[in-house]
Copies of this chain bind each other. A is one copy, B any other.
């Protein structure tokens, strides 16, 4: 599987031990996958003692420095040249046997490093961070940008649409993905200065652009790709997460209030167990940085071993798709 190895930055997240646990589990659960891991080799080997897995499919690249969440993104990339993140980005750029990288570290540093070390796609623009929303139709909707670019020009939004549409089609297998622009109304002329100009560019593009959409239909599954600047995308994503949490908490409190016995709550618990899975955005893997020479999967900073398994599966899918 040339170009199909998955690279993991083992440090920089909240729980590196969870990342390392996940690495051992991946090697046990996913047949044939080969991992390249950057980080403190001694630490990693100690954390792996007593775990049973196929060591021949694990390569550790020793590097001692760690980019933390307190580091300024660009400074971290320029100064910590021997960090697990910087070394991983260099390997991703140089080694043909590596197809995709995963990191749960400092998002800003990953984005800065993706441009400064890995490099943009030929003819590309700014990279975009795409996130996957589980929608009401049981499928998924791509949202780009979800926070990498908080100040955008109209042509950036066009590019986000192109990157995300290609991802939806190649990796998720959606035929002719429907692309919509986030706005304050569905009519063509609604929007702010940025979105009105982006609307024109998207309309003229080769994308299957279906027009403006409102945030209230973000989860409907009516479209495959939502395009917006990273500030709005972040507001949309986080308000979906926050509202879902709030509504679940309020529902459970009221169900408890009106239930007559603990028996009543048994089926409620089952239902809400499944609901939480539906609403668990991390179950889809991580956000994906697109527009760079090779894609990077950004896992949540609080990633646990299960997150590692989910993101490696996602990374394998990306590699196999030829994205």
Please report A residues at the B interface, Cβ cutoff 8 Å. Answer: 136, 147, 150-151, 182, 184, 191-193, 195, 214-220, 228-232, 234-251, 254-255, 257-260, 264, 267-268, 270-272, 274-275, 278-279
This chain's copy number in the assembly: 2
A182's partner among B228, B235, B268, B272 (CB-CB below 8 A) is B235
The 4 closest A-B pairs by CB, nearest first: A216-B242, A215-B239, A150-B192, A254-B271
A255's partner among B150, B193, B243, B268 (CB-CB below 8 A) is B268
In the bound assembly, the distance between CA atoms of A264 and B249 in angstroms comes to 20
A267-B259, A270-B258 are contacts. A184–B214 as well, Cβ < 8 Å? no
A251's partner among B150, B214, B251, B267 (CB-CB below 8 A) is B251
A241's partner among B216, B255, B274 (CB-CB below 8 A) is B216
Whether B271 pairs with A255 at a CB distance below 8 angstroms is yes
Whether A258 pairs with B244 at a CB distance below 8 angstroms is no
Whether A246 pairs with B192 at a CB distance below 8 angstroms is no
In the bound assembly, the distance between CA atoms of A237 and B236 in angstroms comes to 10
A241 cross-chain contacts in B, Cβ below 8 A = 216
Given contacts A217-B242, A231-B232, A251-B251, 4 further A-B contacts (CB under 8 A): A150-B184, A214-B234, A214-B238, A250-B279
A220 cross-chain contacts in B, Cβ below 8 A = 242, 246
A26 CB to closest chain B CB (Å) equals 29
A-B contact pairs, 10 of them (CB 8 A): A136-B249, A215-B236, A220-B246, A235-B239, A243-B244, A247-B275, A247-B279, A248-B251, A251-B275, A254-B275
Q: Nearest residue in B to A232 (C-beta to C-beta)?
A: B235
A236's partner among B136, B235, B251 (CB-CB below 8 A) is B235
A317 CB to closest chain B CB (Å) equals 25
In the bound assembly, the distance between CA atoms of A8 and B136 in angstroms comes to 39
A143 CB to closest chain B CB (Å) equals 11
A230-B184, A235-B215, A239-B239 are contacts. A267–B278 as well, Cβ < 8 Å? no
